[in-house]
């Protein structure tokens, strides 16, 4: 069956509080219109608390496509409003890590992202859920929520990933490992862990950490950095950034459609970069939940025999 084309009419909604949102709003609007995308409305949302309401209203009013610009947190909290609706979700990666865009193969520069929206294709993808709260790419517990919850906004805004590394070093000093228990269809297991990633996509923090996860597999992958060593956690991050095979020795993977996750002591959970939950939780998959816009498949120049 031939997939339906990407809508040409859309509502543009940019989180102007994100690292580059305000700066790039006007450029995004201009480039989209030049590319042939007809904007029904456009909003630069300066108060992040109004972002969900703005997206919800656009979908409720019948927008065939919403284009959301912001970081992973903005994309994750707004994609909920297109679940079960006849509305396509498109994204402009304007954050720091842009893990969701990386997972979908969307260019991180504004021009490339706009070109994807104008000339790309629809793709139906899974979403993860933490106790019923949808997430697009990855939830995490351990060091990541400590970093995400406490990082000063100015440090994140002006230094980007360098700021993240500086804050992460400070958080590492205060961090403690924890006991992790996962119960799924395969059974129940308890291990020591320093970080846990509940993944619907390969990227977390802008780094490809969970290669076995993807947005259309019909299952979640829980990746635990096992043991009690902080040095081992740092080695996991470093070896993942360098794509070394040695990183596999630092982790254990759990697969399933539904998994009960408990920790001792209780751990905060960041969902696509925003701290929104706390263990114990049930993680599950919402299969084929939404349609997003991704780059078009390359055309094979070789003619058939």
Name the pLDDT band for 202 (thresholds 50, 70, 90): very high
d(CA 22, CA 33): 18
Distance, CA of 254 to CA of 246 (rounded, Å) = 19
Q: Write out pLDDT tens, residues 227-280.
A: 998 888 888 888 888 888 878 889 999 999 999 999 999 999 988 878 889 999
- Please enumerate in sequence order all residues whose Cβ is within 8 A of that of 77, keeping only pairs 6 or more positions apart, or say none: 51, 52, 272, 274
Residue pLDDT, tens place only, 44-76: 999 988 999 999 999 999 999 999 999 888 998
Give the mean model confidence (pLDDT) for residues 27-47: 96
Tokens representing 80 are 């909920």
Interatomic CA distance for residues 127 and 287, integer angstroms: 7
Note whether 15 and 71 are within 8 A (CB).
yes
- Is 269 in contact with 145 (CB distance < 8 Å)? yes
- Alpha-carbon distance of 38 to 273, in angstroms, equals 31
pTM: 0.86
pLDDT in tens, 159-171: 555 666 666 777 7
pLDDT > 90: percent of the chain:
63
Which domains are seen in the chain, by residue range? 9-119 (3.40.50.10330), 135-289 (2.60.200.40)
């Amino acid at each position: 069956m031939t997939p339906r084309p990407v809508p040409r009419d859309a509502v543009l909604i940019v989180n102007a509080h994100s690292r580059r949102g305000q700066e790039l709003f006007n450029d995004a609007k201009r480039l989209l219109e030049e590319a042939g995308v007809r904007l029904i409305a456009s909003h630069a949302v300066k108060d992040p608390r109004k972002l969900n309401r703005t997206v919800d209203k656009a979908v409720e009013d019948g927008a065939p496509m919403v284009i959301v610009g912001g970081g992973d947190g903005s994309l994750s909290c707004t994609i909920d409003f297109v679940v079960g609706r006849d509305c396509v979700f498109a994204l402009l990666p304007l954050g720091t890590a842009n893990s969701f865009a990386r997972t979908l193969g969307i260019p991180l520069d504004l021009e490339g992202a706009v070109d994807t929206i104008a000339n790309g294709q629809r793709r139906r993808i899974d979403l993860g859920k933490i106790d019923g709260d949808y997430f697009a790419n990855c939830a995490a517990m351990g060091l990541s929520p400590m970093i995400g919850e406490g990082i000063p906004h100015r440090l994140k805004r002006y230094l980007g990933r360098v700021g993240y590394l500086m804050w992460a070093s400070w958080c590492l000093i205060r961090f403690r490992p924890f006991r992790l228990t996962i119960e799924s269809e395969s059974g129940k297991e308890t291990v020591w862990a320093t970080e846990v990633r509940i993944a619907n996509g390969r990227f977390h923090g802008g780094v490809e950490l969970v290669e076995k996860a993807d947005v259309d597999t019909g299952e979640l992958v829980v990746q635990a950095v096992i043991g009690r060593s902080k040095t081992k956690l740092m080695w996991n991050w470093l070896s993942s950034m360098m794509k070394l095979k040695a990183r596999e020795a630092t982790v254990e993977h759990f697969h399933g459609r539904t998994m009960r996750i408990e920790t001792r002591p209780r751990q905060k959970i960041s969902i696509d970069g925003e701290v929104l939950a706390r263990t114990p939780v049930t993680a599950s998959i919402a299969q084929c939940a939404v349609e997003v816009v991704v780059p078009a498949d390359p055309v094979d120049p070789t003619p058939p025999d």
